[in-house]
Amino acid sequence: MSQYKLAFFDIDGTLASHNDPKIKSSMVDRVPESTRLAIKELKKSGIEPIIATGRNHGMIRDLLQSLNISSFIANNGRYVVFNDQTIAHDVFSRDHLQEIVKYFKSKHIDYCFETNDHLYLNKSSKFLDDGAMDLDKIPDGEIPDKVIQMIVRSKESFDIPIGGIEAVKVAPGVFDITMENSNKAVGIDKILSAMKIRVGETLAFGDEENDIEMFEKAGYTIAMGNGIPQIKKLADFVTTDVNDDGIWNACIALKLF
């Protein structure tokens, strides 16, 4: 039996191939069949698969159902659920939101608001979605309740000159605007504490910049072949690309089932 009890999975570039903005497709459609089989086998081996993502619950609901997964870290560690039980649900203060919106407007930056299960877009915004979830349009100037983070598209990394706020790259050209120290590792800590599980009993699979803290936290880490150089350098093991049976090949090589 494996020494591991939990396996944390990033979505884009790890469980599913990255979305091509020119060809809108669902995350469910982009999951390789070998990855689906690997998730089933891990569960049979007593390893609980947990999705760890910058996306919100509403955006990953279909994926969770498709893979029969009931535990997840969403919104970069700010919304955490284990076996269908909510462990954490952190939101922005109204003051922080107003300050962020004011700054983005001054720089002509388009954005959308994200709660645990919805995306909201002001009526005149030119923010482009990726088709993963419908955006609810709201009047200009309106700010929704219980906003966990915001999303911005940019070709280059950037800083936000507001105390306690940071922009985290979650996919090529996509940044989540969130509170400092909001990341997947924070979500892992919340699950480990609640379930009394040791770090050494955890695995993590990832490919991008927002997986770095997760890799620094987990007991054993697996980078996808399509991952960024920094992730591969941090990893204990580098597997093949997501579309080249990366998850399955790693599980076989590491004898996880």
How do residues 100-125 score in pLDDT, each as one tens digit?
999 999 999 999 999 999 999 999 99
Asked if 82 and 190 sit in the same domain, the reply is yes
Cβ atoms 211, 184 nearer than 8 A: yes
The pTM for the full model equals 0.86
Whether residue 1 is contained in a domain is answered as no
Asked if 76 and 149 sit in the same domain, the reply is no
Lookup result for tokens 């204990």? 236
| pLDDT-based confidence at residue 205 (cuts at 50, 70, 90) | very high
Q: Comparing C-alpha atoms, which of 30, 83, 27 is closest to residue 55? A: 27
Cβ atoms 72, 52 nearer than 8 A: yes
pLDDT of residue 132: 61
Alpha-carbon distance of 73 to 51, in angstroms, equals 6
pLDDT of residue 170: 79
Indicate the residue among 159, 179, 199 that finishes a domain: 179
Model pLDDT for residues 62-93, shown as the tens digit of each residue: 999 999 999 999 998 999 999 999 999 999 99
Q: Comparing C-alpha atoms, which of 80, 28, 74 is closest to residue 54? A: 74
Residue 174 belongs to what domain range? 94-179
